[in-house]
Structure 1
Amino acid sequence: YNEAAEKGHCIAQNHLGSLYEYGEGIEKNLNMAIYWYNKAAENEFEVAQYNLGQSYRLGKGVEKDEIRAFEYFKKSAEKGYLNAQFQLGFCYYYGIGTEINKLKAIKLYKEAAEKEHIMAQNSLGLLYEYGIGTEINLEKAIYWYNKAARKGEAAANYNLGQCYKLGKGVEKDEIKAFEYYNKSAESGYLDAQFQLGYCY
């Protein structure tokens, strides 16, 4: 990867950055990770732009800077990178590096959810369940939770468990609630583990 990265190959540059970030087959070095992510981002590689966004959001290898994080997520999302679309929606939802804008958050979550991004599907379900930035629509909430839960999203399984426990958008069914809590708990989701303890 080093040789290809040195020659300006953006995928290799990003991959080398990732190897340095996580110390895979190489000594962990966040400065080198940022160096290579920057090189790939300068070559307009959307995955590297996303990785830089995450680095700035978390202050990992760089000083935490939510505005720069937002800018990198935006560049990457504009190129269609799903993880960046989700993170950009998250930024708009919580006002990270930008003003809170629930409508933009919903639009981005919906775009990513329709392209099978499971965290976006679960987040969209929550927005519909609680009517955040949109009308409450329990049918749509259940639809998006189901899509994400079928792919193993722990939070979506938990949310479905809650809906079945309370009869929210579905017929109340404690057995189904238990099954969804169990799937979620098996993935390590703490709230589901608590609910399972409560069931017993």
Structure 2
Amino acid sequence: MDANADEATDIAREGHRAYERGDYTKACRLYRLAAGQGDAESQNKLGLMYERGLGVGQDYAEACRLYQLAADQGHARAQCNLGLMYERGHGVGQDYVEACRWYQKAANQGYARAQCNLGFMYEKGCGVEQDHTEAYRLFRKAADQGHVGAQCNLGTMYEGGRGVGRDYVEACRWYRRAADQGFARAQFNLGLMYEGGRGVKQSDVEACRWYRRAAVQGNADAQCNLGLMYEGGRGVGQSDVEACRWYRRAAVQGNADAQCNLGLMYEGGRGVGQSDAEACRLFRLAADQDNALAQLNLGTMYGEGRGVEQDHREACRWYRRAADQGDADAQCALGLMYKMGLGVERSDAEACRLFRLAADQGNALAQLNLGAMYGEGRGVE
């Protein structure tokens, strides 16, 4: 190692100490000096600081330039970071193929994060041809190094039987390895396995324990499910107030199921003061995300004029959006609107078509209405 390299290494070490102290301005200054002398680690670290806006103004393009300098020297973390920038389109045009190329370079060096990221690209077919077997292989390589995201992803592969034979016990084993390290998504998934009794003995208490561990970390899906457990009194003492508290925490993060569930609590005045207006507001937030139950409920509120001005045409619009997703209750509700000519032109034939769609899914009200249409000879031959 020459004198310049020794000097760059010493400067980089001092920069790292400044970074660890939270003195980002000094860290940037030192990393810049070392990066200018070709130190790949400093180029990568300085790129990270530009990406995150630590000690400098956030600048994705400059971050990419620095990552590229380090990546071209074979620095695995920089190669992975550059891949992420291409995947997200930060500082460069989004390019999944280029993202995969850089992930592959880092993965070939055994870098677990890159192996996990590349596995995800194979799983989804982004930048490479979809290949669940290759995704499984890459997740396994990263998981065996202790990468919690890969361990969780490996669990989903076993759970879904993608790239490997379906094995709920093995799925739980990998979820637990990640969950025990505090990985919220794995904790949530393990909660689902306990709730459903898949790969483990069914236990609502244990499901709640794992949902709670993920929920307190801000996992919105876990917050919503914990709310459901409180609402139903499963695994915990029944509490509508506590259910609403967890639904609300998930709803403010944009979780559509939680928004719909909280809307139902406002509609029924359970755990909160009754408010049709607030129920409608929440139903609309979820409905705009294509939550079929929320679309059905919002349609009902418009049809009955609760929380909003009565508008049968708007009711039909929301019923239709839910019905198009296959929601049987919405198909039946829209069928009734066609039968009565409310918000749409009356059509017995269309009513029967919708009743039949819902009836074939076992919807009892639709079956009753379809039977009545046959009995009266309306809309059917």
- TM-score, length basis structure 1: 0.98
1:160 corresponds to which residue?
A: 190
1:42 corresponds to which residue?
A: 72
2:170 corresponds to which residue?
A: 140
Contact 2:61 2:90 in 1 (8 A): no
Q: Which runs of 5+ in 1 are unaligned?
A: none
Instruction: Please state whether the residue corresponding to 2:94 is helix, strand or coil.
Output: coil
Instruction: Kindly provide the CA deviation profile for residues 143-168 of structure 1, in whole angstroms up to 9, marking residues without a partner as x.
Output: 10110000011111111111111111
Instruction: Please state whether the residue corresponding to 1:162 is helix, strand or coil.
Output: helix
Letter in 1 for 2:143: A
Residue of structure 1 aligned with 2:98, choices 68, 85, 90:
68
Whether 2:218 is the aligned partner of 1:185: answer no
Residue of structure 2 aligned with 1:112, choices 142, 146, 152:
142
Instruction: Kindly provide the CA deviation profile for residues 47-75 of structure 1, in whole angstroms up to 9, marking residues without a partner as x.
Output: 11111100000000111011100100000
Q: C-alpha distance in 2, partners of 1:153/1:77?
A: 22
Q: Find the structure with the greater CA-based Rg.
A: 2
1:13 corresponds to which residue?
A: 43
Whether 2:79 is the aligned partner of 1:53: answer no
Shift of 1:179: 0.3
Contact 2:170 2:199 in 1 (8 A): no
Instruction: Kindly provide the CA deviation profile for residues 100-158 of structure 1, in whole angstroms up to 9, marking residues without a partner as x.
Output: 11111000001111111001111111111121121111111111011000001111111
Contact 2:134 2:163 in 1 (8 A): no
Shift of 1:26: 1.3
Contact 2:169 2:198 in 1 (8 A): no
Instruction: Please state whether the residue corresponding to 2:58 is helix, strand or coil.
Output: coil
Q: C-alpha distance in 1, partners of 2:80/2:56?
A: 22
Instruction: Please state whether the residue corresponding to 2:90 is helix, strand or coil.
Output: coil
Instruction: Please state whether the residue corresponding to 2:174 is helix, strand or coil.
Output: helix
Instruction: Please state whether the residue corresponding to 1:170 is helix, strand or coil.
Output: coil
Instruction: Kindly provide the CA deviation profile for residues 24-60 of structure 1, in whole angstroms up to 9, marking residues without a partner as x.
Output: 0112222211111111011111111111100000000
Instruction: Please state whether the residue corresponding to 1:177 is helix, strand or coil.
Output: helix
Q: C-alpha distance in 1, partners of 2:180/2:203?
A: 18
Contact 2:188 2:210 in 1 (8 A): yes
1:151 corresponds to which residue?
A: 181
1:79 corresponds to which residue?
A: 109
Runs of 4+ that moved beyond 4 A: none
Q: C-alpha distance in 2, partners of 1:130/1:98?
A: 21
- Paired residues in the alignment total 200
Q: Which runs of 5+ in 2 are unaligned?
A: 1-30, 231-381
Whether 2:122 is the aligned partner of 1:97: answer no
- TM-score, length basis structure 2: 0.52
Instruction: Kindly provide the CA deviation profile for residues 66-89 of structure 1, in whole angstroms up to 9, marking residues without a partner as x.
Output: 110010000011011111000010
Q: C-alpha distance in 2, partners of 1:68/1:174?
A: 45
Q: C-alpha distance in 1, partners of 2:106/2:211?
A: 35
Q: C-alpha distance in 2, partners of 1:182/1:121?
A: 20
Identity %: 39
Q: C-alpha distance in 2, partners of 1:128/1:180?
A: 19
Q: CA RMSD in A?
A: 0.8
Q: C-alpha distance in 2, partners of 1:190/1:132?
A: 25
User: Using CA pairs below 8 Å that are at least 6 residues apart, which structure has the higher relative contact order?
Assistant: 1
Instruction: Please state whether the residue corresponding to 2:92 is helix, strand or coil.
Output: coil
2:199 corresponds to which residue?
A: 169
